[in-house]
A and B are shown apart, each in its own frame.
Chain A
Amino acid sequence: QVHLVESGGGVVQPGRSLRLSCAASGFTFSAYGMHWVRQAPGKGLEWVAVIWSDGSNKYYADSVKGRFTISRDNSKDTVYLQMNSLRAEDTAVYYCTRDASGRKFDYWGQGTLVTVSP
C-alpha cells in the first residue's frame, strides 16, 4: 500500500536551514505530483509547495517563495523541501502528500515537526 514517510524535522535557530525528505513507496512515484502542506501548532492547514511528476514545474506559497525549494529524485522515490532563512512563523508540522490529479491529496505522511526557536 501507499506510504509516505517524512524525516528531517527538528529544532533550528532563526535564519538557519533545514532539509526535509519524504520517502514514498507502494505506488509509481514518478507519475504523481507531490506537495508539502504545513500546520502550525493549533492552527489550520497551509499549502506550501508543489512539484510536478517529472520535476519540470514547481510552485510555492507566497509565504515561503524565495526561501524554500521543493525538489524530487524519482530514482529514489523521494521528494525534498529545502528550507532556508527560517523564521519563527515557519514552526509547524510539515506533511508531504500525493496529488492524485485534480488537486486531491489522497495520501499523507505522518508529518515531521519543525521548530524554529533561538
Chain B
Amino acid sequence: QSALTQPPSASGSPGQSVTISCTATSSDVGNYNYVSWYQQYPGKTPKLIIYEVNKRPSGVPDRFSGSKSGNTASLTVSGLQGEDEADYYCSSDRGNTVVFGGGTRLTVL
C-alpha cells in the first residue's frame, strides 16, 4: 500500500484544466517538500515535469504546475492538449527512502 494516494484516472477535454491530487497517507512521508511529478507514456521512460512541489525543469511547458496544501500535493494541467494523455506519478521523500503514488491515467476526451 503506497503512502501516497492518487486517483486512478482523470480526464478533461482539450483546452480545459485538470488537477491530479497526491495525498500523503502516512505521517512519516518526510517533510513532503520534495514532491516531484513524472509523466510517462505507455512503453516509455518516465519524465520529470515538476520538482520540489512547484518547480518546472527547463523545457516543460508552463501549462504544467504544482502546488501543495497540507498533506496533499496537486498537479494541474492547463489548456489540455492531446499529447498530455499519459500516466502521471507523484513521488516524495520518506526519510532516507522515496515513495511513489500509484499513478493517475489522464485521458484527453
Which residues of A are interface residues toward B (Cβ below 8 A)?
A: 35, 37, 44-47, 50, 57, 59-61, 95, 102-106, 108-111
Contact = CB atoms under 8 A, between A and B. Distances in A.
Given A103-B34, A103-B92, A106-B48, 14 more contacts: A44-B2, A45-B40, A45-B100, A47-B91, A47-B97, A47-B99, A50-B97, A103-B36, A103-B93, A104-B34, A106-B51, A108-B45, A108-B47, A111-B45
Contacts of A35: 98
Residue of A50, A59, A103 contacting most chain B CB atoms (<10 Å) = A103
B32 to A, nearest CB: 11
Interface in B69-99: 87, 89, 91-93, 96-99
18 contacts: A37-B100, A44-B103, A45-B91, A47-B91, A47-B99, A47-B100, A50-B96, A61-B97, A95-B46, A102-B52, A103-B34, A103-B92, A104-B36, A104-B52, A105-B36, A108-B45, A110-B45, A111-B45
Residue of A44, A57, A105 contacting most chain B CB atoms (<10 Å) = A44
A104 B48 contact: yes
A50 B97 CA distance: 7
The 5 closest A-B pairs by CB, nearest first: A104-B51, A44-B103, A47-B98, A103-B34, A59-B96
Interface of B: 2, 34, 36, 38, 40, 45-48, 51-52, 57, 87, 89, 91-93, 96-103
